[in-house]
């Protein structure tokens, strides 16, 4: 399945709240809703297609295109292992106006119900060198970033993270705060994403690579 410029442009808008749309662009409201719903239906199909190319992951959970009072600034879905549905650790995919992402994530909103803790989740960090070495990971293709802001762009390349002590120490400060955590994955800029005719293959391959780190987010006691 392929993404096009208009898929990213869906999220490049001045107003997301229905109240604002009705006030400033009332004639466009129904059209925006219809466009979101149509593209979200395709997104659901895409998320399911990605899962079929993996082993050990359950069906995706797909966030709705609206929360009732506004449309989203992104489309989002996540996957958990078949035996780890009660854990807040997961692998997520996200599409926004700038890029497409596949990454290891901590589902903070579900942390209270998680059978594993935040401390369990962040164990993946110490396994990075082992992951790169044993799976032959292309460090140029992965990035590390934070949860400081919604959809942040304060990311660094995995190679820089591994080789630069100052960069690593800056990011590792976040590990003591369960409300601000590290993410690792692939951030594919819009201009590159639109060139791929089978994005589900990239997602499936990345999910299986990230599965190694995902397995390290369990409790080993």
Q: Does residue 150 register a pLDDT over 90?
A: no
Structural domain containing residue 89? 5-217
Q: Residues 21-55: pLDDT tens digits?
A: 999 999 999 999 999 999 999 999 999 999 999 99
Here the CATH number for the domain that contains residue 153 is 3.30.930.20
Percent of the chain residues past pLDDT 70, beyond the cut? 95
Distance CA 140, CA 204 (A): 18
Confidence category of residue 126, pLDDT binned at 50, 70, 90: very high
Using alpha carbons, list the distances in angstroms from residue 89 to 15, 83, 86, 122.
32, 12, 9, 9
Q: Which residues contact 103 (CB under 8 A, 6 or more apart)?
A: 91, 92, 94, 183, 184, 185, 186, 187, 210
Question: How many domains is the chain partitioned into structurally?
Answer: 1
Rg (CA), the chain: 18
Tell me: the pLDDT tens digits for 83-124?
999 999 999 999 999 999 999 999 988 888 999 998 899 899
């Amino acid at each position: 399945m392929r993404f096009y410029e208009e898929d990213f442009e869906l999220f490049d808008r001045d107003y997301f709240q229905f109240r604002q749309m009705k006030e400033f662009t009332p004639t466009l409201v129904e059209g925006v809703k219809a466009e979101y719903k149509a593209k979200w239906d395709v997104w659901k199909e895409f998320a399911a297609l990605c899962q079929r190319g993996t082993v050990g992951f359950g069906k995706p959970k797909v966030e709705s295109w609206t929360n009732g009072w506004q449309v989203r600034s992104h489309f989002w879905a996540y996957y958990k292992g078949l035996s780890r549905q009660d854990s807040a650790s997961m692998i997520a995919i996200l599409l926004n106006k700038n890029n497409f992402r596949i990454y290891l994530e901590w589902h903070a909103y579900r942390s209270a119900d998680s059978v594993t803790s935040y401390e369990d989740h962040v164990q993946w960090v110490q396994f990075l060198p082992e992951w790169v070495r044993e799976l032959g990971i292309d460090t140029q293709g992965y990035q590390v970033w934070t949860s400081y802001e919604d959809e942040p762009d304060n990311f660094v390349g995995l190679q820089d993270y591994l080789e630069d002590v100052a960069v690593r120490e800056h990011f590792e400060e976040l590990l003591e705060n369960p409300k601000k955590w590290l993410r690792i994955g692939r951030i594919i800029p819009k201009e590159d994403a639109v060139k791929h005719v089978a994005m589900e293959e990239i997602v499936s391959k990345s999910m299986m690579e990230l599965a190694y780190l995902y397995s390290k987010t369990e409790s080993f006691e």
